[in-house]
Amino acid sequence: MGTHSGDIDPALVNLVATKEGLSTHEVEVLLNTQSGLLGLSGLTNDMRALLQELKSKNDHRVRLVIEVFCYRVKKCIGGYFACMRGADAIVFTGGIGENSPEIRGRICSGLEWAGLKLDENRNRRMVGLEGQISSDDSTLQAFIIPTEEEQLIARDTVNFIEHEYSSSRLEQPWKIKELRTG
């Protein structure tokens, strides 16, 4: 993640607190705001900036951050394969998944054993778009599907407000119907 630590050994919180002289709250803040890509790189939580830094300076620390990120994603994919006894497709979404062909390529590299054949041209062209990036003959498909988080948040907010006000004695202070996004 950009600034979050991800999976950690729970004993780490007390160890870091003791070693660094921090409260457990301060360690929690550290693990949630100063870790992840930012903590490992010491530069930024923005994958685009890290890829640019790697291209311009070939910094070993930045290279390691990108390798760790891709390794962790592949590890999660493998875990899901095991739990689900396989899969029909992998879906890339979110900022990095939707916009970084290089990271998608690194993640897909080595998944040929599972039947994934990445179409390099499709992968390169698909930035911020929805579509297939695996080859047509791939038995494990790969897609990009934009998250549309803002629309989902708006829809969930409207549903929450409708439910809360419809079950109360209060009059609705605004017209919910006008807020609907679809």
Does residue 11 contact residue 17 with C-beta atoms inside 8 Å?
no
Helices (H), 21-177: 24-33, 36-41, 47-57, 60-84, 94-99, 101-108, 120-125, 149-166
Residue 169: per-residue pLDDT = 47
Shortest CA distance to 45 belongs to which of 55, 56, 57, 32? Answer: 32
Does residue 90 contact residue 143 with C-beta atoms inside 8 Å?
yes
Return the CATH superfamily for domain 1-85.
ATPase, nucleotide binding domain (3.30.420.40)
**How many helices (DSSP H) and strands (DSSP E) are in the chain?**
9, 3
Residue extents of the structural domains in the chain = 1-85, 87-147, 149-179
Render pLDDT for 18-44 as a digit per residue (tens, 0 to 9).
Answer: 999 999 999 999 999 999 999 999 999
pTM as predicted: 0.78
Render pLDDT for 46-81 as a digit per residue (tens, 0 to 9).
Answer: 999 999 999 999 989 999 999 999 999 999 999 999
